[in-house]
């Protein structure tokens, strides 16, 4: 059975809401207990895409509050806490218990509680004579946000910026890597699988893979093992492969414009936690939810925008036909909106019409929602010539360059400042060799439009380093890396891991192509140098290619350090669907970023390195 992260995380949360008691097949606890739910902001974001208010009621949650809000005592009611294991939350729990706010406290931490914090909790409740109120303390290993069945984010902000910051010290880098490892461990614990880990050598990908391997090894030795597929089951269960990459592996995918529905909605309208707000037809803002409960979103998210518009039209026509059919059978007026008032005719037709009413109403709501979203998108596409940006960026990536006049025409034409900056950066990434005169003309065009060029210059610097690296042989390569690190701080070696992939030779993303090769498990020059970590194997065999790795893999978890996006997610889902037999790929990242959000991190890096013109960073976003 395919791994389904959304389902597994939801099951864990429901069990938690039922005071960690076993749950009936119906999804409710054996005994109906009314309770209060207390969460922090981070855990609210974990709950938000998975559990709705009506679901909370079903599981006996009558009130829910943020932990840092002032709350009044509620007698004779247990409280379920779901919070991150941090000092401020522990202090607040101790304060709540000492004030006897609730009858009993069921404490659930989103990841493993460090021992010092556990001791603070114990001493704090002992001193206030409230330790008897603490009924249970659980490590839930749920510190990640699942947005779709196969999509998750660790919600760790600005990881790319922090890892590539020239002023970052070893301690800061290690702390970030440890946070990423902790989040990935939570995902694997929720899925209850110990994967084979593959990654390119060098940079954050290897650091995360190596540390995760060690964490899994340590855990597998402990008595309370979270991974149920041990022992005899391991032989019949094919383990998944975990492929870890760093954002520098393929920068272009984080910056380019895309014309598919899901990436467009995210990039242009700012989809966050499966929700977005768009201007309504009659003024004001309308909020929508876009998740697996929306059949149109699920079925058409990966289509190009013009195909989505056609599909909306088709569904509207089918809906009208079905309404006319119901009206005809019940003697109503053809072409009228179906409102259920004009129902006459024999009883059988009447009953059928009544039964089809909720389904028709629901369909109409979905059609109206996507009509509204598509209308807003279309307005933005026309105003900013986004279709032209997509086409020209794809052409540049395919051909490895663009005609200078065409390039400058785009930078002087329609589009926001950020659109132009993203286009200019894509030009730099796509060029096999940088023409200094052309690059200067691009920079001049950006400055003329009052656009901050620091992100452009940062990528140009990285790129000039990479071009020299691609032509270097392996012996002199290390010298260049050493030189680069002295010049730009210690994190530039992260870039070298993806040298070959800065230029995608075809339209398939380098990431997708590499994941496909890793899942096949056959000898392939693109991936033969990739490191292998098997937390279940003897330590000596880890870190090098091993013969015991038999492909092909049916399941993969692909993780991008430093920010991911819906373009990569869609590309990997297409890959999984078109495989024979169909495979399953889960995509995760430290945070999901729009092109603009990622370029803002590049701008900050440029500023830290003293690059760019002195225009305020925020001006690039207008």
Q: Return the DSSP state at 224.
A: S
Cα distances from 327 to residues 324, 393, 438, in angstroms, run 5, 50, 65
Q: Which residue has the higher pLDDT, 550 or 390?
A: 390
Kindly tell me if the per-residue pLDDT of 476 is higher than 60. Answer: no
Q: Which residue has the higher pLDDT, 230 or 248?
A: 248
pLDDT at residue 614, as a whole number: 55
Kindly tell me if the per-residue pLDDT of 388 is higher than 70. Answer: yes
pLDDT at residue 131, as a whole number: 92
Cα distances from 346 to residues 241, 330, 340, 353, 413, in angstroms, run 60, 7, 15, 11, 63
Cβ–Cβ under 8 Å, residues 494 and 203? yes
The SS3 of residue 178 is helix
* Separation between Cα atoms, residue 144 and residue 156, nearest integer Å: 9
* Separation between Cα atoms, residue 103 and residue 79, nearest integer Å: 8
Which residue shows structure tokens 């495989």? 579
Mean pLDDT value across residues 32-59: 92
pLDDT at residue 55, as a whole number: 87
- 422 confidence band (pLDDT: 50, 70, 90): very high
Cβ–Cβ under 8 Å, residues 372 and 280? yes
Strand order in the sheet with 35-39: 61-66, 35-39, 78-83, 104-109, 134-139
Mean pLDDT value across residues 37-65: 93
- 479 confidence band (pLDDT: 50, 70, 90): very low
Give residues with Cβ within 8 angstroms of 523, minimum separation 6.
none
Q: What is the 3-state secondary structure (H, E, C) of 80-108?
A: EEEECCCHHHHHHHHHHHHCCCCCEEEEE
- 205 confidence band (pLDDT: 50, 70, 90): very high
pLDDT at residue 280, as a whole number: 78
What is the percent of the chain where pLDDT is above 70? 83
Kindly tell me if the per-residue pLDDT of 140 is higher than 90. Answer: yes
- 350 confidence band (pLDDT: 50, 70, 90): low
Among the ranges given (166-175, 341-350, 558-567, 573-582), the one the predictor scored with the smallest mean pLDDT: 341-350
Mean pLDDT value across residues 443-467: 89
Structure tokens at 387: 């279709």
What is the percent of the chain where pLDDT is above 90? 63
Label the pairing between strands 35-39 and 78-83. Answer: parallel
pLDDT at residue 578, as a whole number: 87
* Separation between Cα atoms, residue 498 and residue 502, nearest integer Å: 6
Burial class of residue 467 in the structure, from the number of CB atoms within 10 Å of its CB (0-12 exposed, 13-18 middle, 19+ buried): middle
Among 224, 42, 209, smallest CA distance to 139 is for 224
* Separation between Cα atoms, residue 5 and residue 7, nearest integer Å: 5
The strand ranges marked E within 165-246 are 196-199, 241-246
- 234 confidence band (pLDDT: 50, 70, 90): very low
Mean pLDDT value across residues 562-591: 93
* Separation between Cα atoms, residue 148 and residue 265, nearest integer Å: 15
Among 148, 179, 85, smallest CA distance to 562 is for 179
Kindly tell me if the per-residue pLDDT of 345 is higher than 70. Answer: no
- 619 confidence band (pLDDT: 50, 70, 90): very low
Kindly tell me if the per-residue pLDDT of 483 is higher than 50. Answer: no
Mean pLDDT value across residues 97-106: 94
Q: State the pTM of this model.
A: 0.88
Please provide the average confidence, as pLDDT, over all residues in the chain: 85
Radius of gyration, CA atoms only, the chain: 27
Give residues with Cβ within 8 angstroms of 592, minimum separation 6.
147, 153, 266, 563, 564, 565, 566
pLDDT at residue 390, as a whole number: 93
Q: What is the pLDDT of residues 535-552, one digit of tens each?
A: 988 876 555 555 446 678
58: phi then psi, degrees, rounded to nearest 5? -60, -30
Mean pLDDT value across residues 86-104: 95
Among the ranges given (257-271, 460-474, 561-575), the one the predictor scored with the smallest mean pLDDT: 460-474
pLDDT at residue 493, as a whole number: 39
pLDDT at residue 599, as a whole number: 97
pLDDT at residue 233, as a whole number: 40
* Separation between Cα atoms, residue 400 and residue 390, nearest integer Å: 15
C-alpha 276, offset from chain centre:
16
pLDDT at residue 621, as a whole number: 47
Q: What is the pLDDT of residues 207-232, one digit of tens each?
A: 999 999 999 999 988 877 787 644 43
pLDDT at residue 464, as a whole number: 80
555: phi then psi, degrees, rounded to nearest 5? -125, 140
Cβ–Cβ under 8 Å, residues 431 and 400? yes
Long-range contacts: 466-470, Cβ < 8 Å, 24+?
466/495, 466/496, 466/499, 466/502, 467/432, 467/433, 467/434, 469/496, 469/499, 470/499, 470/500
CA angle 164, 166, 170 (to 5 degrees): 80
Cβ–Cβ under 8 Å, residues 304 and 285? no
Kindly tell me if the per-residue pLDDT of 620 is higher than 70. Answer: no
Cα distances from 220 to residues 272, 461, 485, in angstroms, run 36, 44, 37
Torsion of CA 22, 23, 29, 30, to 10 degrees: -70
Q: What is the 3-state secondary structure (H, E, C) of 362-390?
A: HHHHHHHHHHHHHHHHHHHHHHHCHHHHH
- 380 confidence band (pLDDT: 50, 70, 90): very high
Mean pLDDT value across residues 340-369: 74
Mean pLDDT value across residues 171-196: 95
Structure tokens at 307: 């195909």
- 338 confidence band (pLDDT: 50, 70, 90): low
pLDDT at residue 426, as a whole number: 94
* Separation between Cα atoms, residue 150 and residue 240, nearest integer Å: 14
Cβ–Cβ under 8 Å, residues 380 and 386? yes
Which residue shows structure tokens 């015991």? 548
Structure tokens at 368: 């109206």
């Amino acid at each position: 059975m395919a791994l389904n992260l959304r389902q597994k995380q939801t099951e864990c949360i429901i069990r938690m809401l039922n005071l960690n008691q076993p749950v009936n097949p119906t999804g409710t606890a054996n005994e109906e207990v009314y309770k209060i739910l207390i969460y922090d902001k981070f855990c609210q974001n974990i709950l938000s895409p998975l559990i709705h208010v009506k679901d909370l009621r079903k599981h006996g949650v009558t009130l829910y509050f943020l932990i840092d809000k002032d709350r009044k005592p509620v007698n004779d009611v247990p409280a379920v806490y779901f919070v991150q294991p941090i000092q401020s939350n522990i202090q607040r729990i101790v304060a709540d218990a000492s004030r006897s706010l609730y009858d009993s406290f069921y404490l659930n931490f989103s990841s493993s509680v460090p021992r010092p914090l556990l001791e603070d909790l114990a001493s704090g409740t002992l001193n206030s004579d409230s330790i008897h109120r603490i009924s249970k303390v659980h490590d839930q290993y749920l510190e990640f946000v699942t947005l779709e069945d196969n999509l998750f984010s660790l919600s760790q902000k600005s990881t790319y910026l922090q890892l590539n910051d020239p002023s970052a010290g070893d301690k800061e880098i290690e702390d970030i890597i440890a946070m990423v490892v902790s989040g990935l461990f939570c995902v694997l614990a929720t899925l209850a699988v110990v994967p084979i880990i593959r990654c390119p050598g060098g940079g954050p990908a290897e650091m995360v893979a190596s540390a995760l391997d060690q964490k899994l090894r340590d855990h597998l030795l402990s008595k309370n093992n979270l991974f149920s597929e041990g022992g005899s089951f391991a032989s019949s269960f094919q383990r998944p492969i975990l492929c870890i990459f760093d954002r520098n592996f393929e920068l272009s995918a984080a910056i380019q414009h895309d014309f598919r529905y899901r990436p467009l909605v995210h990039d242009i309208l700012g989809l966050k936690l499966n929700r977005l707000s768009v201007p309504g037809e009659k003024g004001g803002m309308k909020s929508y939810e876009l998740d697996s409960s929306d059949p149109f979103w699920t079925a058409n998210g990966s289509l190009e925008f013009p195909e989505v518009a056609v599909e909306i039209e088709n569904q509207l026509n089918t809906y009208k036909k079905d309404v006319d059919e119901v009206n005809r059978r019940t003697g109503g007026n053809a072409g009228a909106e179906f409102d259920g008032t004009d129902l006459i005719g024999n009883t059988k037709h009447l009953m059928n019409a009544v039964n089809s009413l909720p389904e028709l109403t629901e369909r109409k709501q979905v059609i109206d929602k996507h009509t509204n979203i598509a209308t807003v998108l279309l307005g933005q596409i026309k105003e900013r010539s986004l279709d032209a940006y997509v086409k020209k960026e794809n052409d540049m990536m395919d051909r490895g360059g663009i005609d200078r006049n065409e390039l400058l025409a785009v930078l002087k034409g329609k589009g926001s400042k950020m659109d132009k900056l993203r286009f200019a950066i894509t030009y730099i990434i796509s060029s096999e060799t940088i023409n200094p005169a052309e690059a200067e003309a691009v920079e001049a065009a950006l400055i003329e439009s009052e656009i901050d060029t620091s992100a452009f210059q940062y990528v140009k610097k990285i790129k000039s380093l990479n071009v020299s690296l691609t032509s270097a042989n392996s012996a002199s390569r290390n010298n260049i890396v050493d030189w680069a690190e002295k010049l730009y701080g210690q994190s530039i070696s992260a870039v070298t891991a993806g040298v070959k992939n800065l230029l995608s030779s075809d339209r398939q993303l380098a990431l997708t192509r590499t994941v496909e090769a890793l899942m096949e498990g056959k000898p392939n020059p693109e991936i033969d140098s990739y490191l292998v970590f098997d937390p279940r194997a003897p330590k000596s065999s880890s870190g090098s290619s091993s013969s015991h790795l038999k492909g092909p893999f049916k399941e993969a978890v692909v993780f991008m350090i430093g920010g991911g996006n819906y373009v990569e997610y869609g590309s990997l889902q297409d890959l999984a669907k078109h495989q024979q037999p169909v495979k399953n790929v889960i995509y995760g990242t430290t945070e999901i970023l729009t092109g603009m959000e990622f370029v803002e991190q590049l701008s900050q890096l440029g500023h830290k390195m003293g690059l760019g013109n002195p225009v305020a960073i925020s001006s690039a976003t207008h």
